[in-house]
DNA sequence: ATATTTGTTAACCATATGGTTAAACTTGTT
DNA sequence: AACAAGTTTAACCATATGGTTAACAAATAT
């Protein structure tokens, strides 16, 4: 038996699917059990309560996202290169985990205190290096003046929003599933260009 | 008695609060009734079911948002002026309705078919004029070449994301409630400049 | 082999939840 | 005043839900 087929892992896996698509409030313990092919009592045996099972799933999801952010924050390439790399990588990553952004954003909105628990974790993204680098490049005349926090949020916004707002954007731009995928795919370069055009001298 | 104090309106008002902060799944009919100061049976008397009450709230919320979008889509000023006006107005609007974006985005993700009902409504935003105008200004040499859909999504993303991702962004940028409000306030001009810099020749 | 710990199940429980009902109250009409 | 229509309430209902229990099975240790 593979590690992934232990009851504990089967449960976490099923819980991930259900929680990420339906949220904490919409998820049902029975549905998770059914999806895992396992008796409902086992969920409590391994994770004690719905809340704790949810937290296990959430921390797992966030620990998938954090390294993506750290890419842009903590390597040594130029801001331009970072933006290009991040935009490509992040979009590719999101295409593989389409429920992730909405799940995280929404659950953080539902319970604002929850982010405090994440902050304590090592590996919680830290902006200091990125901000210092932006300011250095501005002084060096490579970039136009811009507040580093604002730039960071812009980068995040342009990359994440198409996944968060997919149903809305799809409807507004009158795209079907296929053309939306192509639209997002082309953003890998479009968004990077859009940002670079704006900030580069 | 004012119109706003009829039972029907008190219910809708309370339902708006509860649904927008807790979502469809997290909302409880009893809680809505309590907030409205009205017997629970009245909710069903006026709105038949939780689903229908929810839809009333949702359509209401969306009909508040749609005119904001139409501002940028259907007036006759230049793209640059539209971007500036939209960014200022939209941010001001969101500061007054902080739960709106997450509510709408999240519920549309929960039920993708729901947007179809909205599409039928008159007043559902239409991008054609905006797209034509972008292409005209590109041909006239006012704007650099850019796909109009991409530009539209960029504008939306930059404006909406700070409200959607507030808890996350607040934590990442280490801002408290007050400095986050200032951050968002300054985006009214920062975002417009960011966009204009990128697209203007 | 036997005892002990760990894993698993079906049945059960208390409570929460959306929804209904029938009676009472209010308002307007004749 | 009497009647009808609309409005409001408390009590009720069926079901769903997170969680528990006690018995049973499998693996592990003695």
Q: Is the pLDDT of residue B27 over 70?
A: yes
Instruction: List the structure tokens of B146.
Output: 């850019």
Q: Which of B37-51, B71-85, B115-129 has the highest mean pLDDT?
A: B37-51
Among A140-144, A193-197, B65-69, which stretch is predicted with the lowest mean pLDDT? Answer: B65-69
Written in H, E and C, the secondary structure of B119-136 is HHCCCCCCCHHHHHHHHH
Distance from CA of A105 to the nearest CA of B (A): 6
Catalogue the long-range contacts made by A61-66 (C-beta closer than 8 Å, 24 or more residues apart): A61/A16, A61/A20, A61/A100, A61/A103, A61/A104, A62/A104, A62/A118, A63/A121, A63/A123, A64/A97, A64/A100, A65/A100, A65/A104, A66/A123, A66/A124, A66/A125
Q: Is the pLDDT of residue B135 over 80?
A: yes
Instruction: List the structure tokens of B96.
Output: 């007054």
Distance from CA of B32 to the nearest CA of A (A): 17
Q: Is the pLDDT of residue A3 over 70?
A: no
Distance B8 CA to D13 C1' (A): 25
User: What pLDDT shows up at residue B68?
Assistant: 87
Per-residue flag: B22 CB under 7 A of strand C? no
Distance B1 CA to C24 C1' (A): 23
Per-residue flag: A30 CB under 7 A of strand C? no
Nearest Cα neighbor of B21 from B102, B96, B108, B94 is: B102
CB B191 within 8 A of CB B159: yes
Nearest Cα neighbor of A195 from A101, A81, A92, A105 is: A81
- In the block, tokens 């992040």 appear at A90
Residue B20: CB partners within 8 Å, gap ≥ 6? Answer: B57, B61, B99, B100, B103
Q: Is the pLDDT of residue A156 over 90?
A: yes
Instruction: List the structure tokens of B26.
Output: 């997290």
Nearest Cα neighbor of A100 from A88, A91, A111, A112 is: A91
CA gap A180, A107 in Å, rounded:
25
> Which residues, listed in sequence order, are joined to residue A200 by a DSSP beta bridge?
A143
> Which residues, listed in sequence order, are joined to residue B143 by a DSSP beta bridge?
B200
Q: Is the pLDDT of residue B3 over 60?
A: no
Distance from CA of A115 to the nearest CA of B (A): 7
Percent of chain A with pLDDT over 70: 98
Mean pLDDT of chain A: 95
User: What pLDDT shows up at residue A121?
Assistant: 82
Instruction: List the structure tokens of A74.
Output: 């903590």
Rounded to the nearest angstrom, the gap between the alpha carbon of residue B124 and the centroid of all alpha carbons in its chain is 13
Helices (H) and strands (E) in chain A, counts: 11, 0
CA gap B80, B198 in Å, rounded:
11
Q: Which helix (H) or strand (E) holds A169?
A: helix A166-172
Q: What is the mean pLDDT of residues B13-27?
A: 98
User: What pLDDT shows up at residue B1?
Assistant: 46
Give the pLDDT band (50/70/90) at residue A4: low
pLDDT tens digits along A48-67: 999 999 999 999 999 999 99
CA gap B180, B170 in Å, rounded:
7
Give the pLDDT band (50/70/90) at residue A113: confident
Q: Is the pLDDT of residue A154 over 70?
A: yes
Per-residue flag: B26 CB under 7 A of strand C? no
Other Cβ atoms closer than 10 A to A79: 23
CB contact under 8 A, B157 and A153: no
Q: Is A165 helix (H, G, I), strand (E, B) or coil?
A: coil
Residues of chain B contacting residue A108, judged by C-beta atoms under 8 Å apart = 167-168
pLDDT tens digits along B169-199: 999 999 999 999 999 999 999 999 999 999 9
Distance A36 CA to C8 C1' (A): 14
Mean pLDDT of chain B: 95
Phi, psi dihedral angles at B200 (to 5 degrees): -85, 140
Instruction: List the structure tokens of A98.
Output: 């389409």
User: What pLDDT shows up at residue B199?
Assistant: 98
Residue B129: CB partners within 8 Å, gap ≥ 6? Answer: B73, B74
Q: Is the pLDDT of residue A1 over 60?
A: no
């Amino acid at each position: 038996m593979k590690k992934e087929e232990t009851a504990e892992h089967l449960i976490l896996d099923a819980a991930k699917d259900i929680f990420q698509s339906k949220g904490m409030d919409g998820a049902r313990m029975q549905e998770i059990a059914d999806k895992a092919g396992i008796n409902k009592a086992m969920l409590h045996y391994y994770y004690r309560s719905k809340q704790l099972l949810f937290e296990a799933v959430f921390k797992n999801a966030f620990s998938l996202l954090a390294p993506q952010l750290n890419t842009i924050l903590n390597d040594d390439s130029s801001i331009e290169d970072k933006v290009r790399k991040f935009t490509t990588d992040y979009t590719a990553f999101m295409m593989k985990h389409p429920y992730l952004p909405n799940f995280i954003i929404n659950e953080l909105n539902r319970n604002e205190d929850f982010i405090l628990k994440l902050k304590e974790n090592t590996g919680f993204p830290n902006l200091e290096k990125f901000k210092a680098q932006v300011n250095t490049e501005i002084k060096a005349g490579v970039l136009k003046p811009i507040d580093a926090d604002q730039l960071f949020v812009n980068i995040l916004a342009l990359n994440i929003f198409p996944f968060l707002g997919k149903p809305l954007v799809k409807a507004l731009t009158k795209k079907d599933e296929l053309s939306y995928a192509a639209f997002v795919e082309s953003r890998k370069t479009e968004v990077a260009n859009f940002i670079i055009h704006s900030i580069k001298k």
